[in-house]
Homo-oligomer: A and B are copies of this chain.
Amino acid sequence: MRISALAAAAGLPLATVKYYLREGLLHPGTSTSATQATYDESHVRRLRLIRALTGAVGLSVQQARAILALVDDPGDDLYATLGRAVGSLPPTAAEPSADDPDPFPRARAALEALDQVYDPRFAAVAQLESALAAAEAAGMPISEERLLEYGRRLREIAAFDLERMPREPHAAVEYTVLGTALYEPVILALRRLAHQDAAARRELGA
């Protein structure tokens, strides 16, 4: 398959495929001469994955590259790889000042209340802190009761996810990293729809 066929197969403009190639999101094809290279199914699949990440998940090209790099070439430590993956997912929280003895007080309290591991190096901790701080600044702080409720339900979801993780290490990383990213929009949409469903039932029932 030449490049124009690849673009057609993925339903993308040729210029865009060249762009992804240039940006290193898509691995090069096999050169057959100075002005020719061939591409295969793996390139088509990769383009679909790139579009899923930059489209529905809403990643920037940079962030998508970081995630893809992790999937392509994971470390042997799932925990650390997952940490790095989460770090390259939005929202990107600001780095804490290095000398702050307690840079994430809200997140630490939350995790203690939930009886979960608190590791300030993990990017999601900073994300949680800034999300809690934002809710607070906006005049809608999250009560401990709400936090416990959310935390409990999400731990149930996470347990479900973990149960279904493939055994084989490379597949496990791919599943975990992509599952974190790809299923998040589904989760948000489902919550919004659950709200709508509840509101509709209330409207009709009252």
Interface on A for B, CB 8 Å cutoff?
A: 45, 48-49, 51-53, 55-58, 78-79, 82-83, 86, 89-91, 111, 116-117, 119, 122, 124-125, 127-128, 130-135, 137-140, 142, 146-147, 149-151, 153-162, 164, 175-176, 178-180, 182-203
On chain B, the residues within 8 Å of A183 by CB distance are: 135, 142, 150
What distance in Å separates the Cβ of A77 from its nearest Cβ neighbour in chain B? 8
On chain B, the residues within 8 Å of A55 by CB distance are: 91, 130, 134
Question: Which of A117, A139, A191 gathers the greatest number of chain B CB atoms within 10 Å?
Answer: A191
If A137-B51, A140-B178 touch, whether A130 touches B56 (CB-CB below 8 Å) is: yes
Q: Give me 17 other A-B pairs in contact (C-beta within 8 A), A55-B130, A131-B185, A162-B198 excluded.
A: A48-B137, A49-B138, A79-B196, A82-B195, A83-B196, A117-B197, A127-B185, A128-B186, A128-B190, A140-B179, A142-B183, A150-B190, A154-B190, A158-B191, A161-B195, A180-B191, A187-B191
If A116-B193, A157-B149, A194-B157 touch, whether A162 touches B199 (CB-CB below 8 Å) is: yes
11 A–B pairs (Cβ distance < 8 Å), ordered by A: A48-B137, A52-B137, A53-B138, A55-B134, A56-B134, A82-B195, A91-B185, A111-B193, A128-B193, A140-B175, A150-B183
If A90-B58, A178-B138 touch, whether A155 touches B194 (CB-CB below 8 Å) is: yes
If A130-B55, A139-B49, A153-B156 touch, whether A122 touches B193 (CB-CB below 8 Å) is: yes
* Choice from B51, B186, B195 contacting A150 with Cβ under 8 Å: B186
